A and B are shown apart, each in its own frame.
Chain A
Amino acid sequence: MSTDRTHADHAHEHPTWKQYKWVALWLFVITVFEVWAYYVPAFVASKAFVPTLIIMSAVKFTIVVLFYMHLKYDHQMFRRLFTGPLIIAACTLVAFLFLFSKVRIG
């Protein structure tokens, strides 16, 4: 009973083929751009390279989660269950990079 109700509750809110198509296109375009950037030595050498790549992959990450995993449309419980851990994981990762940045190898 509740399964059906759950399902019915948000099914109509699911993104549609139109959005799926656009998301796929964006994923494709960003990926092409990322790989292209990899082959431009001047860009690779520049300070913008790493941040740009990270931002681009974050965008891809986000649109897949929001649309393909329909987090944008789903119950907010799911959003909490996902973003909380994601934030903790990201902070931990950044802390690790900081803690290990000043290595003094003997």
Chain B
Amino acid sequence: MATSSAISTTASAAPQPSVQSGLWSWLTTVDHKRIGLLYLYTALFYLLVGGLEALLIRTQLARPNLSVVSAEMYNQLFTMHGTTMVFLVVMPLSAAFFNYLIPLQIGARDVAFPRLNAFSYWVYALGGLFITLPIFFGLAPNGGWFGYAPLSGPTYGGGYNMDFWVLGLQILGISSLAAAFNFITTIINMRAPGMTLMRMPMFTWMSFVVQFLIVLAFPVITAALFFLQFDRFFGTNFYQVQAGGDPLLWQHLFWVFGHPEVYILVLPAFGLVSEVLPTHSRKPLFGYNVMAFSGMMIGFLGFGVWAHHMFAVGMGPVADSIFAVTTMLIGIPTGVKIFNWIATMYGGSLRFPTSMKFAIGLIAMFTIGGISGVMHSSPPSDLQQTDTYFIVAHFHYVLYGGAIMGIFAGIYHYFPKITGRLMNERLGSWHFWLNFIGLNLTFFPMHFSGMLGMPRRIYTYDAGQGWDLFNMISTVGTYLLLVAGLIFAYNFFSSRKRGAVAGNDPWGGATLEWSIPSPPPEYNFAQIPEVTSRYPMWDLKAPDRTASLEHVHPSADDIAAAHAVPVHEETERRSAKELGIAIPFSTIRPFMVALGIIIMFSGLIVLHVGEFPLAMAAMLGGSAFMVGSLYAWLTSPLE
């Protein structure tokens, strides 16, 4: 088979079924790999949901003056589509990889706070239901994923729709923040001996940057949402225009969060691609230091550009100019990444399994989205673009062509590690090409319809405006994307059972996760490895190739302290008990704390319905349940 690597030698037996199974084991697991899988499955499910929402949107817009869905339903659909894709699909898909990969890549047996990790997942899973289910009752949020006040406030956004949004995002924020503290600690403190920061795999690096973005951006939306929540539930005046409230306060707070958020969405994908490209080029990542640094720069600059979403609000020429220039600057570190990726491939020995196709697809497609992003950064011109389909084209090229393509690259690349089996390459190829064509068919025409005057967030448009053709093509493209998605789903599920057995290292990867069996044993590493370079597996398997690259041994002290052993390939699979490795106990408590939080928040909705006693019961009961479970959690031993 064209894709199996020449250097993959260890032919291991078919993956053993996980010892633990059954619903209860999933509810109580604190194993970062199983939590990663939970994230993966849940987020893929929501990808289908968000995709179907998009499908309805596109069907409604296929031709002028259609009424496939009502105006009100359309507004709920696009709000939920945006919210779902951002908070329930791309962030959790990234989280799936954070969970699964970071400990493996840094040579750790788990994350720093395994139970907090389970908690993050359960808050996400339950919060996702909280915000998604209302659509079946026509009560889904309808104020846009940006929830601009005062439309999202009590005066103009009455009803329960936006209640679910405000509370839902608040809940999801808890999940992301908890996970971010966890991963920052994990990356700082649980790296294997010798794994210095500048030896970390690039995916871990980008994840590290992303965690800081989360830690700094989410509190801002938390505050903004608290204001909105207080306005809606307690009658405060933050965004109440009658009392002098300023709608721009919401906008600024939202985008101070919102812009870093888009890098939260794309940097993990960049990280994944930075793993895939070197592997299949058989060359180290070009300009590792600069790649790490540009990631940090993107993150840092990302906090100084938020008002480029607000050029139409009339901030005055000075502010417009400042934000225009800072926005343009972000193109520079991003460009560095693009060129370094190409340089990684240049002179390499390229092969093109599906993951590589998606990775290259990301470079090609993200560049288009990036360039249109730079086009928005010029305010006089952006005033013709903003809130039109040109913007929709931009962000789908960066989100679908960037984040989603990168994540697909990651899924194909790591599927054998996760399941022990390879995905079908033929179907993968079909998936890629349909996806690639569908993506361009769907989103490229939006550049035209946008510049030809079609506004965003409209459920209908009149005939004769010159937009019909472009909308039709977009809609056709979307159906192609659905077909591609279904092929992927089939491939995914069937390969899990019937795919070719992968072995430890099917691709010839350079990093630690390829040294252990697939799927990895629950303890990950039988012995914590000692790392001497960025490419430990290449050092081990193809030392002649990496001979010219940097190798410095870490201090003997550290290694002694950790009883580390040089990196080697682990071919045996034993139980943690046999090896004497302490494994954290499974526990239901993180789930219960998460449940308590959801009940507590639901109380607020009940309050809005006007059932005061029931609301109080839910809120107090929920908090009591949460505090009780938390206490039980904190007082029980970890392992």
Binding site for B on A (CB under 8 A): 2, 77, 84-85, 88-89, 91-92, 96, 98-100, 102-103, 105
Contact = CB atoms under 8 A, between A and B. Distances in A.
B252 A99 contact: yes
Nearest to A103: B246
Given A85-B216, A92-B256, A99 B315 contact: yes
Contacts of A103: 246
25 contacts: A2-B561, A77-B188, A85-B215, A85-B216, A88-B216, A88-B303, A89-B216, A91-B303, A91-B304, A92-B220, A92-B256, A92-B303, A96-B252, A98-B319, A99-B248, A99-B252, A99-B307, A99-B315, A99-B319, A100-B246, A100-B248, A100-B249, A102-B316, A103-B246, A105-B244
Nearest to B249: A100
Contacts of A77: 188
A25 to B, nearest CB: 34
B224 to A, nearest CB: 12
Contacts of A88: 216, 303
A4 B128 CA distance: 41
A85 B249 CA distance: 21
A2 B215 CA distance: 26
A99 B320 CA distance: 10
Contacts of B303: 88, 91-92
The secondary structure that dominates the A interface is: helix
Given A85-B215, A88-B216, 7 more contacts: A2-B561, A84-B212, A88-B303, A89-B216, A91-B304, A92-B220, A96-B252
A85 to B, nearest CB: 6
A102 B220 CA distance: 23
A103 B316 CA distance: 11
Contacts of A91: 303-304
The secondary structure that dominates the B interface is: helix
B368 to A, nearest CB: 30
B260 to A, nearest CB: 10
Interface in B307-335: 307, 315-316, 319
A17 to B, nearest CB: 31
Nearest to A104: B314
Contacts of A89: 216
A20 B161 CA distance: 53
Interface string B179-222: 00000000010000000000000000000000010011000100
A105 to B, nearest CB: 7
Contacts of B561: 2
Interface string B291-312: 0000000000001100100000
A102 B319 CA distance: 11
Contacts of B252: 96, 99
Nearest to A84: B212
A9 to B, nearest CB: 13
Nearest to A102: B316
B558 to A, nearest CB: 11
- Which 4 A-B pairs rank lowest in CB-CB distance, beginning with the nearest? A88-B303, A85-B216, A88-B216, A99-B319
Contacts of A105: 244
Nearest to B315: A99
Contacts of A84: 212
A88 B305 CA distance: 13
A98 B248 CA distance: 13
Contacts of B315: 99
Contacts of A96: 252
Nearest to B562: A2
Interface string B250-294: 001000100000000000000000000000000000000000000
A31 to B, nearest CB: 27
A98 B315 CA distance: 10
A99 B252 CA distance: 9
Nearest to B316: A102
Contacts of A85: 215-216
A89 to B, nearest CB: 8
A96 to B, nearest CB: 7
A19 to B, nearest CB: 28
A73 to B, nearest CB: 19
Pick from A84, A98, A99, A103 the residue with the most CB of B within 10 Å.
A99
Contacts of B319: 98-99
B239 to A, nearest CB: 14
Nearest to B215: A85
Nearest to A89: B216
A67 B245 CA distance: 40
A84 B212 CA distance: 10
Nearest to B188: A77
A77 B184 CA distance: 12
Contacts of B188: 77
A92 B216 CA distance: 11
A88 B212 CA distance: 12
B573 to A, nearest CB: 28
Nearest to A2: B561
A1 to B, nearest CB: 8
Interface string B229-255: 000000000000000101011001000
Nearest to B314: A104
Nearest to B253: A96
A56 B307 CA distance: 32
Pick from A2, A77, A88, A89 the residue with the most CB of B within 10 Å.
A88
Contacts of B256: 92
Interface string B133-170: 00000000000000000000000000000000000000
Contacts of B220: 92
A105 B247 CA distance: 12
Nearest to A98: B319
A103 B246 CA distance: 10
A89 B219 CA distance: 11
A95 B561 CA distance: 47
Interface string B447-485: 000000000000000000000000000000000000000
Contacts of B244: 105
A105 B304 CA distance: 26
A88 B315 CA distance: 21
A65 B259 CA distance: 30
B344 to A, nearest CB: 29
